[in-house]
A and B are shown apart, each in its own frame.
Chain A
Amino acid sequence: MGSGFEISAEDIRVFLDEAEELLQSMEAGFLRLEAQGGDPETIQEIFRAAHTLKGSSATLGHQRMAELTHAMENVLDKLRKGKIAVTTELVNTLFQCLDILKEFKDEIASGEPAEVDTTDMMRRLAAFEPQGAAGSPPPVPGPGPEQPSPPQALPPLTPAQREQVKGASARGLQAYWADIALSEEAAMPAVRAFQALLAVGELGEIVLSVPTQEDVENDRIGKDLKILFLTRESVEAVAKALEQVPEITVRVLAPYRLDGGAPAPGPVAEAHAPAAPQPEPAVSVEHPEGADGGAHAPAAAQGNNVPFKMSKGSLRTVRVDVEVLDNLMNTVGELVIERTRLQQVLSRLETEREGDELSQVMSSALAQIGRLTGSLQEEIQRARMLPVDNLFRKFPRMMRDLAQRAGKEIHFVMKGEETELDRSVIEEIGDPLMHLLRNAVDHGIETPEERIAAGKPRAGTVTLEAFHEENHIIISVRDDGRGVDPEKVRASAVRKGLLSEEAARRMPDAEAINLIWMPGFSTAERVSDISGRGVGLDVVQKNIEKINGSVEIRSTRGQGTEFRVKLPLTLAIIRALQVELLGTIYCIPLGSVVETDRIPTTEIRTVRQREVIVKRGQVIPLLRLADVFGLARPEGDEEPEEIFVVIVAVMGRQVGLVVDSLIGEGDVVIKPLGRFIGEIPGISGATIMGDGDVAIILDVPTLVGSVQEEVGRLEPALN
């Protein structure tokens, strides 16, 4: 343990993780506060979060954060004691504080100063004081005596504390006591006292302090702080640690001796303590807050001999960089490849040595390695999973703000927050979900007046739900709003020139609704600041498809709309159908495969110069991958009598991909093609096969989309 008060990168990380959790719990608390009024449990929870954050930000030396949380704590304390009531104004203020705290957190994370001025916020918080003391800095907490209190000696030790001090030297510890004056200018003496306790606690164990740690945490302090503690460190080290705490003066820092029961700090006052005043002989300590604290004093002094430590979360979990997991995954991938090579050696051995004992041993060892690598892969995969709660919990606040701004009343429900998804999927899906939720607020839910007129409850309900469905995760965003009007969609599409009037009229309702996914489409009759960000649903769809997901809309006029986002369990591994085309293996994500078929070339028809097949009465356009990718067939290659077709579907649109042969299906680990190759339409990545060769993964939505575009272009010509 160092002598100073250095903040390591690790400390900052721990702080940031903790702060994130605390901020989230505050946010959840504020929302409950607003929805249900101030039930004591909620207030207590928020109070505790603000309090903990105050402590840790003070430890980190982030003064503005500590001050703000301190001021919040004061307000919450008033709330807790019933001195003030929950009002919209209060909740709004608390939310704004939260925003500032988030900026501070980002400031700590990035090291770039946040452009935030807290003075106004501090004033507003102070205005919530029942006495209405609207001063610039928060009022000096604790009605402590106004004139500097005379230095008080330590209270008599309890037998247990005496034992603790007595046993110190046997443990190689030395007892010291310190008398610390808190600066009168300190805006938050409690925070400084807390920091001092922390600094000392880091270096050893605190036997007792006056005021106690609990009192300090609850802001019951006076103008000074006395600590009796045991440490292995030198006086200098302790002094140095205390020097790091601003706005305090160490009056005494000296060895402590047990002199026949009476604490006798006086005689050994040290050179280190500048201008040490004479400590008076033991007097029973009066608690600064007087009456109700008096009875409390002895117990508090006792309850202090627990080592002063900040809880740093459970030791059962460790935080690991995702990159580490990615590397592990790659390593396992290599292992699999090496195993395949060994397998090849084995089959040679088996033929050459006709299955003798040696090859049998190798065979069973290889099988075992196969199982092991399999479970290794699975475990790493599991380590990457996070509950969607990590993503969901930022939404209630957003929905609240959106509803408020749109002048709508919304009841926001979340379900299935415990559903787990791969971390990278969670990262990618945040924005699309945010858009769908905005969309629900903006276009889905009606105004309270409209709702009442339609015989619906005043407040609309928006539900965000995650659940498993086979090998996928479904995230559903649904509202009980006005639903999508196919007529309006048609009209809008025609007006925007996306569709001819004729084509629009012919289009069935179910298909018309899907026009909302077209680039450049938006039914908003006026641009609001909620959805009108220039990002349409087409972008939402693209982003979801980019991670091998899909999104569908279901809507009933007057009853509501549901967006169902279907996601792969993981981004890293997908189940894919492997096909061969001109000597290269291509993988088609199984999620989009409807069926595979061998079709005699005689069954291929042509409609508007496009090859199609007819299956169960449905016309399915064919897409010859070799042509799409501009791959030349070796000369003399004869047209086969039969073709292999993989029928894929995206948003109900089916397309038959023509390939040379089908190989099989299996799990493939998706690897990026890298920046040098960049994005290629129709290809989403690559993977390494069991034999070490690289296979190409197809981007089915883009391929299907290209066919749709073509058909779309043909349409006007036909009219």
Chain B
Amino acid sequence: MVQEQRSEQQAVSQIVVFQLENEYYGADISVVREVVPLQRVTRVPRTPPYVEGVINLRGRVIPVIDLRRRLGLPAGHTTKSTRIAVAEVGGDQVGMIVDAVEEVVRVPADAVEPPSSLMAQLDRDAVLGVAKVDSRLITLLDLRRILVREDRKSPVTPHSR
């Protein structure tokens, strides 16, 4: 029974689609909690470059990362459609700055292909696969990997002086 449910979930997943650098990316809707307009981000010193800072999300202070930087894409500009997609991984909320949030699509499992070597520019570990939906290619991101600090073992470099 449980098995069945699981395979059903795998069969069709709900994906939040957003844009980065004119390409489509997606993340499982169960991980993306909400999408909020871009707001003032307070810089936090001594954090990795891709960490933009922290924002006030209804009374909670949550970190925000620049997803472009995190994925190694060229830096972008803030536009009217820039959004913060808030994901929750392991009980921690983390905001990601994206160019635009498109929609939520249903993706059947057979429409997903494993990450290909074509996407060399992306950290292959961060990608679950590529989904083809209505002639669009959506790169499915593994937020559980992306939103974990890979520098954890070496604490943030102390100040140099």
Measured between C-beta atoms, what is the minimum distance from A542 to chain B in Å? Answer: 16
* Cβ proximity bits A655-695 to B, threshold 8 Å, 1 near / 0 not: 00000000000000001111111111111001110001111
- Does chain A have a CB within 8 A of B73? no
For residue A627, CB closer than 8 A to chain B, the reply is: yes
On chain A, the residues within 8 Å of B46 by CB distance are: 629-630, 680-683
Determine the distance from Cα of A598 to Cα of B56 in the docked complex, in whole angstroms.
Answer: 32
Known contacts: A675-B92, A676-B149, A678-B149. The answer to whether A629 contacts B159 by CB under 8 A is: yes
Residues on B with C-beta less than 8 A from A687 are 61
Partner of B59, one of A331, A627, A673, A675: A331
Closest A residue by C-beta to B40:
A693
| In the complex, A337 has a CB within 8 A of chain B | yes
Indicate with 1 or 0, residue by residue over A628-652, a CB within 8 angstroms of chain B CB atoms.
1111000000000000000000000
> A696 contacts B44, CB within 8 Å?
yes
CA distance A331 to B60 in the complex (A): 10
Chain B 58-101, CB within 8 Å of chain A: the 1/0 string?
Answer: 11111100000000000000000000000000001110000000
Chain A residues near B47 (CB-CB < 8 A) = 677, 680
Interface contact A683-B63, CB-CB below 8 Å: no
User: Which residues in chain B, 132-161, are within 8 Å of chain A measured between CB atoms?
Assistant: 147, 149, 152, 155-156, 158-161
Contacting pair B160 A673 (CB below 8 A): no
Count residues on chain A whose CB falls below 8 Å from chain B CBs.
34
Q: What's the least CB distance linking B60 to chain A, in Å?
A: 7
Asked if residues B62 and A629 are in contact (CB atoms below 8 Å), the reply is no
Selected contact of B42 from candidates A333, A693, A706, CB within 8 Å:
A693
Q: Is A487 an interface residue (CB 8 A)?
A: no
- Give CA–CA (A630, B152) in the complex, Å: 20
Distance, CA A679 to CA B152, complexed state (A)? 10
The yes or no answer to A511 lying at the interface (CB within 8 A) is no
- How far, in angstroms, from A173 to B160 measured CA to CA in the complex? 82
Greatest chain A CB density within 10 A among B40, B43, B53, B54 is at: B54
Asked, given contacts A333-B59, A676-B147, whether A694 binds B54 with beta carbons under 8 Å apart, the answer is yes
Contact of A674 with B61 in the complex, beta carbons under 8 Å: yes
B16: Cβ under 8 A from any A Cβ: no
Interface pair B61/A686, CB less than 8 Å apart: yes
Find out whether the CB atom of B45 lies under 8 angstroms from the CB atom of A673.
Answer: no
Interface residue A334 (Cβ < 8 Å from any Cβ of B): yes
The answer for the CA separation of A287 and B122 in the assembled complex, in Å, is 88
What B residues does A627 contact at CB under 8 A?
A: 159, 161
| Distance in angstroms between the alpha carbons of A672 and B55 in the assembled complex | 12
Evaluate contact between B61 and A688: CB separation under 8 angstroms.
yes
Write out, one digit per residue, whether chain A residues 593-626 have a CB within 8 A of any chain B CB (1) or not (0): 0000000000000000000000000000000000
- Whether a CB of chain B sits under 8 angstroms from the CB of A360 is no
B59 touches A330 (CB 8 A): yes
Tell me whether B51 is interfacial, beta carbon within 8 Å: yes
Given the interface pairs A683-B45, A695-B42, the reply to whether A671 lies near B159 with Cβ below 8 Å is no
Chain A: CB-nearest residue to B65: A676
0 or 1 for each of A297-333: is its CB under 8 Å from B? (1 = yes): 0000000000000000000000000000000001101
Interface string of A469-505 (1 = CB under 8 A from B): 0000000000000000000000000000000000000
- Kindly state whether residue A584 has any CB partner on chain B within 8 Å: yes
Asked whether B44 lies within 8 Å of A680 as measured between CB atoms, the reply is yes
CB–CB B61/A673 < 8 A: yes
A681 touching B158 in the complex, CB below 8 Å, given contacts A673-B44, A675-B92, A694-B42? yes
Q: Which residue of B lies closest to A631 (CB)?
A: B45
CB distance from A567 to the nearest CB of B (A): 24
Determine whether the beta carbon of B61 is less than 8 Å from that of A676.
no
Report whether B149 and A686 are in contact in the complex, using a CB–CB cutoff of 8 Å: no
**CB-CB < 8 A to B60: which residues of A?**
330, 671
Contacts of A333 in B (CB 8 A): 59
Question: A631–B159 Cα gap in the complex (Å)?
Answer: 10
Chain B residues lying within 8 Å of A630, measured Cβ to Cβ, are 45-46, 159-160
Residue from the list B94, B152, B159 in contact with A678, Cβ < 8 A: B152
Residues of chain B in range 106-138 having any CB-CB distance to chain A below 8 Å? none
- CA distance in complex: A693, B55 (Å): 7
Tell me which residues across on chain B come within 8 A of A686, comparing CB atoms: 42, 44, 54, 61
Contact call A682/B45, Cβ cutoff below 8 A: yes
**Contacts A627-B161, A680-B45, A694-B42 given; does A672 touch B92 at CB 8 Å:** no
The interface residues of chain B lying within 8 Å CB-to-CB of A671 are 60-61
CA distance A680 to B156 in the complex (A): 7
- The residue of chain A having its C-beta at the shortest distance from the C-beta of B45 within the complex is A629
Residue contact A688 to B59, C-beta cutoff 8 Å: yes
| Cross-interface CB contact of B61 among A334, A629, A672, A681, cutoff 8 Å | A672
The smallest beta-carbon distance between A675 and chain B, in angstroms, is 5
Residues of A contacting B155 in the complex (Cβ-Cβ under 8 angstroms): 678-679
Query: B161 touching A676 by the CB < 8 A rule?
Result: no
Is the Cβ of B43 less than 8 Å from the Cβ of A674? no
B56 touching A693, Cβ below 8 Å: yes
A695: chain B residues at CB < 8 Å are 42
Residue of B nearest to A583 (CB): B43
Q: Which of B45, B56, B62 contacts A674 (CB 8 A)?
A: B62
Minimum CB–CB distance from A377 to chain B (whole Å) comes to 13
**For residue B44, which residues in chain A have a CB less than 8 angstroms away from its CB?**
673, 677, 680, 683, 686, 696
Cβ-defined partner of A673 (8 Å) among B43, B54, B58 = B54
CB distance A694 to B45 under 8 Å? no
Name, among A330, A675, A686, A694, the residue most crowded by chain B CB atoms within 10 Å (CB to CB): A694
CB distance from A677 to the nearest CB of B (A): 5
Measured between beta carbons, the chain A residues less than 8 angstroms from B54 are 673, 677, 686, 694
Contact of B43 among A584, A672, A688 (CB under 8 A): A584
User: Are the CB atoms of B56 and A628 closer together than 8 Å?
Assistant: no
Contact B159 A677 (CB under 8 A): no
Residues of B close to A678: CB separation below 8 A? 149, 152, 155-156
CA distance A673 to B147 in the complex (A): 15
A446 smallest CB distance to B (angstroms):
43
B92 adjacent to A676 (CB under 8 Å): yes
Contacts of B159 in A (CB 8 A): 627-630, 681-682, 706
Contacts of A631 in B (CB 8 A): 43, 45
Interface centre among A337, A672, A676, A680 (most CB of B within 10 A): A676
- Chain A residues near B160 (CB, 8 Å)? 630
Bound-state CA distance A678–B92 (Å) is 11
Interface residues of A in 27-75 (CB under 8 A from B): none
On chain B, the residues within 8 Å of A674 by CB distance are 61-63, 92-93
A325 to chain B, nearest CB (A): 14
Whether the Cβ atoms of B59 and A694 lie closer than 8 Å is no
State the Cβ distance, B21 to closest chain A Cβ, in Å: 24
B1-35 interface code vs A (CB 8 A; 1 in, 0 out): 00000000000000000000000000000000000
8 chain-A/chain-B pairs, Cβ below 8 angstroms: A333-B59, A629-B46, A630-B46, A674-B62, A674-B93, A676-B92, A677-B51, A683-B44
Ranked 6 nearest A-B pairs via Cβ: A629-B45, A694-B42, A330-B59, A334-B59, A671-B61, A686-B61
A-B contacts besides A584-B43, A674-B63, 18 pairs, CB < 8 Å? A337-B59, A585-B42, A629-B45, A629-B46, A630-B159, A673-B61, A674-B93, A675-B92, A677-B54, A678-B155, A683-B46, A686-B44, A686-B54, A688-B59, A688-B61, A694-B56, A695-B42, A706-B159
